[in-house]
Amino acid sequence: MPEGDTIFRAARTLHRALAGKVVTRFESVYPAVTRIAEDRPIVGRSIEKVMARGKHLLIAFSGDLTLHTHMRMNGSWHIYRVGERWHRPARDMRVVVGTADFVAVGFSLPIAALLTPRDLARHKELRALGPDLLNAGSVAQGSGAPSTTAPDEIVRRMRAHDRYVIADVLLNQRVMAGVGNVLKSEILFVAGVFPFRTVASLCDGELLRIIETSRELLHANVMERAHSLSPSIGRRTTRSLDPNARLWVYSRGGKPCRRCARRIESCKTGVDARLTYWCPRCQT
């Protein structure tokens, strides 16, 4: 599943290509979206902004309609110049938003809906999101700079899950929005925290260190060098220039730790049996 940094980059790229432009083409394979678009046409409206909220992507149109999408495991947004050949087959298309210059195509999106301001305010998933360490508001201004989120609120939400292990709590979007399975393992390695400690066993200082590490790694992966919408752009957490040494522990089970040479361990955890990686020496 794309993580918060990937969605942020996608929103920023779409915003730069589409914001301020008039919609000349709008299509969707979803009947509910098509029905609303027929009653309240999207073509002719201008695109005001594209925003990321955690793992959700929102395209706001003039006249108080917003397209809400979520990529889940396999969805993606592509941007093409008008007339350019798509890189994926048309059968995978779920939503198309076109302007005179660019065409944005949402492929294999499992979730897409046109929402009014009232719908947005009452949206169950969006309302439940925890603080977003990548400020969605900055996307609309094109700055790309995340704002500071009060860490005390995130600590409070973590403490509400005292009995759970920290690796699972980091994936809970109601606690803190944007962290996915790759960054979960990387954050805990950099913070030096064993992933299977319960929140109750961690002091506030350790929780704050985890939150700050989360912010730093998310921020590092939305730097201006990253213009692609693709999740495979090459997430980095090690700051190494070696293209084969981008990550500390994720997907490196059985390989030597880049810091201490101890063998990286891994196991499946949680309801979805997601893989967690850690160094048994660096994360005591």
Which two structure tokens, joined as six digits, stand for 148? Answer: 């500071």
Does the annotation mark 27 as catalytic? no
- Please identify which of the residues 2, 146, 151, 231 carries the catalytic annotation: 2
Kindly tell me the burial class for residue 126, based on how many C-beta atoms sit within 10 Å of its own C-beta (0-12, 13-18, 19 or more). Answer: middle
| Whether the Cβ atoms of residue 138 and residue 144 lie closer than 8 Å to each other | yes
Does the annotation mark 225 as catalytic? no
Strands (E) located in the chain:
25-28, 47-53, 56-61, 65-70, 76-81, 93-98, 102-107, 111-115, 265-269, 274-278
Which two structure tokens, joined as six digits, stand for 23? Answer: 């919609």
Does the annotation mark 2 as catalytic? yes
- Please identify which of the residues 9, 55, 94, 252 carries the catalytic annotation: 55
- What's the 3-state SS for 6-46? HHHHHHHHHHHHHCCCECCEEEECCHHHHHHHHHCCCCCCE
Does the annotation mark 131 as catalytic? no
- Name the residues annotated as catalytic: 2-3, 55, 274
